[in-house]
């Protein structure tokens, strides 16, 4: 692994990190002004920064072994550099001066698993720039800038959940977030339960051109037809039955998903929380249509396994990881059984949380 000194010929001035996240309930509700319930995962993205001596920005990714140089007037680069470039440009548009910097990126957040590797990169980068330049930004402003970097420079019309989770969540609790007001509460996990996250082995990409931006557009059209600012303003699923398909199905998912989050934060049992997760997956599969057969198989195996309260697709969909709520102390045995059964179905999964040493 090439370190900062080897790449840039100097020592870094500062370092900052941010975690990936897994969303327990509230999928595709954040860009509908709705409610979400993520938690941070142990895997982190770390950036080291220093001042560049040649008047150019230089970015290096350890995992990709890729170096990108940004000159004055440079168009938005592709790949990992687009996120860093976006963060810098947004700070400049806020009136801050960002001198040329060297940025060294390393990350253990899995890419393409629906665990917000991009938000971790954005928040870590902005935290690093805040430290390097002594910027007066709080953690919510960091999240908001990260979101805009993803929308404006990476082409994903995302909600605020991922960046808020990367900026504010921890691995020991759930972060309830109202994405319209940014009201938030830190809540305990259901009693006697812990989180298991398994990668389905199906890489997903939510960049422009995927179904993600299309789903958002469908939700916005549905809200227009229903005469509300956002689908968050519909509280009863019956209210969406008047609009045509597929908008009706998309809306039904969002309305029922918001209701599942609002029930979960009342302090329900692990059993009931698991039932809400199961219902969430069915809704994502049938109404929102963002699942794939491999993910459905992995979720079904998890749901059938003793000691699992519930399981669902997590993240934007079209592949990626599944999250399950399982009995405390049983995660190792459950993991082995599920991976083995999934393998017998012809697929290859891997345990992401808890981390396997």
Active-site residue list: 162
Q: Who contacts 292 (Cβ-Cβ below 8 Å, separation ≥6)?
A: 200, 202, 317, 318, 319
Looking only at the bridges linking them, the beta strands covering 193-199 and 350-353 are: antiparallel
Q: What is the DSSP letter of 110?
A: P
Q: Who contacts 136 (Cβ-Cβ below 8 Å, separation ≥6)?
A: none
Neighbours of 92 (CB within 10 A): 11
Token output for 325? 């709520």
Token output for 258? 């918001």
Please give the Cα distance from 11 to 59 (Å, whole number).
Answer: 15
Q: Who contacts 3 (Cβ-Cβ below 8 Å, separation ≥6)?
A: 104
Please state whether 70 falls in left (phi above 0), alpha (psi between -120 and 50) or beta.
beta
SS3 for 241? Answer: coil
β partners of residue 185: 176
């Amino acid at each position: 692994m090439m370190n900062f000194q080897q790449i840039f010929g100097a020592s870094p001035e500062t370092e900052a990190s941010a975690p990936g996240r897994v969303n327990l309930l509230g999928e595709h509700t954040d860009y509908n002004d709705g409610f979400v319930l993520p938690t941070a995962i142990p895997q982190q993205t770390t950036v080291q920064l220093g001042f560049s001596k040649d008047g150019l920005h230089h970015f290096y990714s350890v995992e990709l072994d890729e170096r990108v140089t940004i000159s004055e007037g440079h168009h938005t680069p592709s790949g990992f550099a687009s996120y860093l470039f976006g963060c810098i440009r947004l700070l400049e548009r806020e009136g801050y001066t960002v001198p040329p910097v060297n940025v060294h990126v390393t990350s253990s957040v899995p890419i393409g698993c629906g665990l917000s590797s991009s938000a971790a990169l954005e928040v870590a980068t902005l935290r690093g720039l805040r430290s390097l330049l002594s910027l007066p930004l709080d953690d919510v402003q960091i999240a908001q800038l990260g979101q805009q970097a993803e929308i404006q420079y990476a082409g994903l019309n995302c909600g605020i959940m991922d960046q808020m989770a990367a900026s504010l969540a921890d691995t020991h609790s759930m972060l309830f977030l109202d994405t319209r007001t940014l009201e938030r509460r830190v809540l305990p996990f259901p009693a006697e339960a812990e989180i298991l996250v398994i990668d389905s082995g199906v890489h997903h990409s939510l960049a422009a051109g995927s179904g993600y931006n299309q789903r958002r557009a469908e939700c916005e059209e549905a809200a227009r037809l229903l005469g509300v600012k956002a689908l968050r303003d519909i509280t009863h699923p019956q209210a969406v039955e008047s609009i045509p398909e597929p908008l009706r199905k998309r809306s039904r998912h969002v309305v029922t998903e918001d209701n599942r989050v609002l029930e979960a934060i009342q302090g329900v049992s692990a059993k009931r929380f698991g039932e809400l997760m199961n219902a969430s997956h069915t809704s994502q599969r049938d109404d929102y249509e963002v699942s794939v057969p491999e993910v459905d198989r992995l979720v079904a195996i998890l749901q059938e396994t003793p000691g699992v309260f519930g399981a669902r697709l997590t993240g934007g969909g079209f592949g990626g990881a599944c999250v399950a709520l399982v009995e405390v102390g049983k995660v190792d045995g459950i993991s082995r059984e599920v991976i083995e059964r999934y393998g017998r179905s012809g697929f290859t999964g891997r345990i992401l949380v808890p981390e396997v040493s």
